[in-house]
Amino acid sequence: MPATSAAAQPGRFARKLNRANAFFDLPMSLRSRLILVLAALLLIPSFLFPLYNMTLYSNQFPDGLNLYIYSYSLEGGHAQNRDDLREINTLNHYIGMRPLLESDFSEFKWIPLLVGLFFILALRAAVVGKMSNVVDVSVMFLYFGLFSLWSFYHRLNQYGHNLDPTAAVKVPPFAPPIFGEKQLANFTVYSYPGAASFLLIGFFLLLALAIWMSRKPSAAQ
């Protein structure tokens, strides 16, 4: 490699680093700050709705057994004076699957805590008004969302694969669906994100919008 070309490499890297630093030092426009406040407010009602809805249909339960996964609890439907979570755990017993217990889900302890933390961080980013703060919140929230999704899937996968070999009904190990439809024995299982998941997605999209609107120095004026 020519000496001039090798010498140009540090110069190009330095220019890219300077551009990155300039971007992170950008001030947030007033509109972007208001969007950050709106994003933070979206997190509050996320505690009122399920993150995920799971419904199991069979000939025995044509109206479906409903399971609602909140950020802090696990709840069953109560159609026709019936506790769906109890019914699901009874069925799980016959196939050798452990009962679904809130105490087994550590996610119910740290997810509400982190959602509250992101509420504070989003408001802080709106007050401080620097691009670097908003990017930090966005990256951390993206990691939090992906890790939470993996954690729930891993937990459900453990339930479906650690079956009691002495159970009355033999079924092959299975993974409950995290999204969509799946046939499990004589049950058709549907699993879809709940309203809380869409609120969390909305939070992330508003963060991205705030970044986009303040991506140029002129946007902050």
Q: pLDDT tens, 141-159?
A: 999 999 998 988 888 888 8
Above 60 in pLDDT, residue 210?
A: yes
**Domain region containing 152:** 37-214
Half-sphere exposure of 161 (CA within 13 A, CB side): 7
Q: Give the model's confidence band at 220: pLDDT under 50 very low, under 70 low, under 90 confident, else very high.
A: very low
> Taking the CB of residue 88, how many other CB atoms lie within 10 A of it?
22
Q: Give the model's confidence band at 10: pLDDT under 50 very low, under 70 low, under 90 confident, else very high.
A: low
Q: What is the pLDDT of residue 131?
A: 93
Specify the number of domains making up the chain: 1
Q: Which residue has the higher pLDDT, 23 or 209?
A: 209
6 assigned to some structural domain: no
pTM value surpassing 0.75: yes
Q: Give the model's confidence band at 9: pLDDT under 50 very low, under 70 low, under 90 confident, else very high.
A: low
122 assigned to some structural domain: yes
What is the tens place of the pLDDT at every residue in 42-85?
Answer: 999 999 999 999 998 888 888 889 999 999 998 988 877 778 88
